[in-house]
Structure 1
Amino acid sequence: MTWFEALVLGLVQGLTEFLPISSSAHIRIVSELWFGEDAGASFTAVIQLGTEAAVVIYFAKDIWRLLKAWFRGLVSRAARSDPDYRMAWYVIYGSIPIAVLGVLFKEQIRSGLRNLWITAIVLMVFAAILAVADETGRQARTRLTLKDSWVMGFAQAMALVPGVSRSGGTLTAGLFLGLRREDATRYAFLLAIPSVFGAGIFSIPDVMDRSGPGLQADIPQTIAATVVSFVVGYACVAWLLRYVSKHSYMVFVWYRIALGAVLCALLATGVVSPT
């Protein structure tokens, strides 16, 4: 991997991580179209640490409040009535599905599921599902329940397949459950923190081992891509939260459909190899 390639992929990661358009799909597509090879699931997982660091900083006050409430609740029965204590547990519960499935299907995630035909079809199928959720969701609820955390946690786990979108899957489930866009979006951001940090740290040894196929980044290039994704991702967090308070997700739906259709055309004509 060249420095230019690393910086471009870091920029792509920062721009797409929080939008419901699948950052892993964009990393896969851009690396194949521009650079002729797959950057790999491990590299993608590691540079996502940058965008999640942006979430941690942006939501630092909320995270600190949740952590304090959680620790207080562990030792005080009275503190367990605090909504923040329950929310902290909801983030933990919601993180379990993606952690378990990520370990169980590690090899498939890093190989077969990165086929571009799968990515193209999934982009379009989940665009339609997001559209239905956005149009039919009541968007009346502001508080999550234990059931919500599990449902949205399994929805997040579907993002192990490039094209689903971590935020998109979680947001879609939240809308179907009747949550407001803003509340579903905030929970999606919080829910991503444990899973992305876990996957990123877990993948660092694989990135350091540069003997595998495809684009191989060295440590300085990976760090640079991660820093770029952090800077761009921080701006995108703030923008998306303002956007969803006043707009629907339909612009992202049409974008996903268009991208999936173009990718199908490129694959069908042999311009791009699916693997």
Structure 2
Amino acid sequence: MNKIIKKDQFSEKVFCLEVEAPLIAHSCKAGQFIILRVDKHSERVPYTIAKADDEKGTLTLVVQEVGLSSTKLCNLNEGDYVQDIVGPLGNASEIKKFGTVVCAGGGIGIAAILPILTALHDAGNRVISVLAGRTKNLIIMEDDVRKESDEVIIMTDDGSYGEKGVVTAGVEKVIQSEHVDRILAIGPPVMMKFTSLLAKKYNIPNYVSLNTIMVDGTGMCGACRLTIGGKTKFVCIDGPEFDGDLVNWDEMFKRMGTFKNVERKEMEHYEEHVYPTPQPGQDVK
């Protein structure tokens, strides 16, 4: 079992958890992920690694409540334990000196892109990070990103922080002001698609992380099967990063909705168990 050392709340449904996992913290690389089970009855869920502290033997995970498993995990507190963590899994990001790299992170994708931009910066690249969210409170881990970036641009849909606009506006602003050698985007699929299309417009190599459709994390379930460059790939074992120009985005969006009905029913069952409907005459506490 793995102990939760620290828990912070970033926004209404987004939490940051620091969990003991010394072997994984020692061996993981930027871009890899882990599989976590909250308890012995829980499903196996993949989570990207935001930070790994080899000295403390801990992993930092940013989790958004979107279904049963993530809700159960976010309901745990410091000192509680999760059943088990397996990893590191997936292929590490390609890290070398490219030149100027734009790293675009949207929502909790900012946490996933943090270790990659850190590694790219350590490799001698000029790193320009573009962080995006619907509103100010959805811009997470800004201080961590600033420490490892040469420049940071913040975009919010409502203009409550940084500049008003979507992530592609910030990325294009950089492209038009200086030479860019590579673009990496991690966030909601629609954000990654349009960032990739923008990069293609300017003939800039671009990569995206498709971790949002992973389920089993080992290639056994086939839920993350996707057409990349005309060939069938599994995101969890062949990725999670791919050349954005080669991704079949229409297929990606279809995959996103595969388990929505199942997740909704499981969440309803959980809520009925945890928050049962009061019977007539019963006090509600």
Same fold per superposition (TM over 0.5)? no
Max radius of gyration: which structure? 2
Structure in which a larger fraction of residues adopt helix: 1
Structure in which a larger fraction of residues adopt strand: 2
